[in-house]
Structure 1
Amino acid sequence: MTGQLFAHGAERVELPGKLAALRTAEAAAIVLLVPGYTGSKEDFAPVLGGIAEAGFQAVAVDLPGQYESPGPEDEAEYRPAPLGKVVAGLVEFLARQGKPVILLGHSYGGLVARAAVLAGAPIAGLTLMDSGPAALPDGPRRVALGVGEPLLRNQGVAPAYAVREEMSARFPSWVSLPTELKDFFRRRFTSSSPFGLLGMAEGLRDEPDLVPELAAALADRPRLVVAGAGDDAWSVETQQDMAARLTAPFALVPNAAHSPNTENPLGLLEVLLPAWQSWR
């Protein structure tokens, strides 16, 4: 099976805050992987083995309110800043082992990872993947957020996902997905907190540009910006500009759009691992 159901060999664990996670065996350094909106730890399943083989312990987490992690009934707690404090605390917990912790944030998880650095997370390096300098720009993904909000508020999570699934059925890429993967997407979405889905969506719509603050907070710590060559969320040009403003290397993953971790995991590992090895 491909994508989120890829066989990974990691163990399912619970971290402080009742955060569900997938964790590979102990190693000399740790990589904490933070998923995006409507995502989960399973988004990183295709790369966990490769990260472990390279000598890192991979820890992929469900943020509060995502899939198997409980969360508060307050939409404001799902903005990047509050979630960033949660991730900063998790980094501090992992760092108590005396090992460097590298942080990767994907999409909305990138905004959360940025907030974690601004909250003082003691990271050894930061990777932003298919994320942006500010709110999600105009486009189909932002339109979808607007369509989904009243459904979530007025009908609930399950009916909202039914409409989402009906819209997805118009695309051949969705039709061709294995039934098991479609079932997983449905189970994950309907298990997630409606407060979390609404709060994160609002964060995606109004997060300010905090690149200068991030650059200052990182100081001389290493950083990397990575994007799928066909990203349809934040444009490649926008992410290139963000990398330049962070004085960070920028890398493109070929044959990938917004989620290289599932679309071209080997290509993504070819970008990430050499950088992380040099940081360690």
Structure 2
Amino acid sequence: MSRPPTFTPPPGVAAHALHTARGDFATLDARPAGEARGTVLLLPGFTGSKEDFIALLRPIADAGYRAVSVDGRGQYESAGPADNESPYAQGELASDVLAQAAAVGGGPLHLLGHSLGGQIARAAVLRAPGTGAGTFASLTLMSSGPAQISPSQQARAKMLTDALAVLSMAEAWEAIQAHDPPEDTDLDGDEALRERWLRHSPAQLITTGKQLCAEPDRVTELAATPLPKHVISGERDDTWPVAWLDDMAKRLRAHRTVITGAEHSPNTDRPEETAAALLAFWEDSHLGRA
């Protein structure tokens, strides 16, 4: 489970609803002081939320980009049905992203997805007119692999989805804490993490958990899209092994960044280094070098 350093937006970051043709989505929105050079749309991973990017938002905005992180349908503060899986099919979530992109607007739009969010981002690019060109200026896959997650993580995801089929969200939280005690964190206790968990839709978690265990390899299809691509990860990852991410980057002919000292969530493990790497890639994308 991702652990943002805080759930409180820093100065200059606004929390508001993004109104789209497919409904409203909760966002954190950081704008630069002057005219924006472009916009970055950030999608969180499984069990995560927009707050997972909270340490990146001001550095991105201070570099001249508008940064918008979003709770997807059924994630934390974005509404979604609790007992109907069909709205969380990957195609539906990808269409949500295209609607978010249209609503955000604002010049060159760089798309970033972390973990599950990366696979949804990939699906959105592949659904977009012109396979993403004209809709997105670039695609960044952060700790998000070529296909299904590793066998050990598939077992964990299946355990969770099976539990959610019979337990309430509160009961599932207690079971998770008993099975996987939380690590030390700077967050004021785990109450904010628990509140986020309780506000997720169980149907969203069940459906997307199944997706992570069955996602096909679409790297060849994505490689054919005319977008600059970036694969970024920590130096250790048990969800998709780093060797898998290295190979995917080669197949995509993508820019590759490994953040020293980070694991599955470089956005929270090493935010300063991660922001610098992202900004360097987007700068190269603007200049046509990526």
Distance 2:187 2:108 in 1: 39
Tell me, yes or no, if structure 1 residue 12 matches structure 2 residue 20.
no
The code of the aligned residue for 1:188 comes to R
Tell me, yes or no, if structure 1 residue 60 matches structure 2 residue 69.
yes
Residue 134 (structure 1) aligned to one of 137, 144, 147: 147
Distance 1:181 1:59 in 2: 27
By how many angstroms is 1:265 displaced?
0.4
Tell me, yes or no, if structure 1 residue 164 matches structure 2 residue 149.
no
Distance 2:45 2:190 in 1: 18
Residue 25 (structure 1) aligned to one of 21, 25, 31: 31
Residue 199 (structure 1) aligned to one of 200, 207, 220: 207
Residue 34 (structure 1) aligned to one of 32, 39, 43: 43
Distance 1:138 1:34 in 2: 24
The code of the aligned residue for 1:3 comes to P
By how many angstroms is 1:6 displaced?
6.4
- Secondary structure at 1:18 match in 2: strand
Unaligned segments of structure 1, at least 5 residues: none
Name the counterpart of 1:227. Answer: 233
Shift of the 43–11 alpha-carbon distance from structure 1 to 2, 3 Å rule, reads same
Name the counterpart of 1:144. Answer: 156
Distance 2:4 2:28 in 1: 17
1:223, 1:248 within 8 Å by CA — same for their partners in 2? yes
Distance 1:126 1:175 in 2: 32
By how many angstroms is 1:149 displaced?
1.8
Q: After TM superposition, which residue ranges in structure 1, 4 or more long, deviate above 6 angstroms? A: none
Distance 2:183 2:264 in 1: 19
Distance 2:120 2:208 in 1: 10
Distance 2:189 2:139 in 1: 30
Superposition map of 1:208-219 within 5 A: 208-216=216-224, 218-219=225-226
The TM-score with structure 2 as length reference comes to 0.89
2:42, 2:69 within 8 Å by CA — same for their partners in 1? yes
Distance 2:275 2:229 in 1: 16
Name the counterpart of 2:101. Answer: 91
- Secondary structure at 2:75 match in 1: coil
Give the structure with the higher percent helix. 1
Distance 1:4 1:231 in 2: 23
By how many angstroms is 1:2 displaced?
6.5
Tell me, yes or no, if structure 1 residue 264 matches structure 2 residue 270.
yes
The code of the aligned residue for 1:93 comes to A
The TM-score with structure 1 as length reference comes to 0.92
Distance 1:4 1:116 in 2: 29
Unaligned segments of structure 2, at least 5 residues: none
Superposition map of 1:235-274 within 5 A: 235-274=241-280
Q: Percent identity?
A: 37
Tell me, yes or no, if structure 1 residue 106 matches structure 2 residue 104.
no
Distance 1:132 1:76 in 2: 24
- Secondary structure at 2:39 match in 1: strand
Name the counterpart of 2:56. Answer: 47
By how many angstroms is 1:192 displaced?
0.5
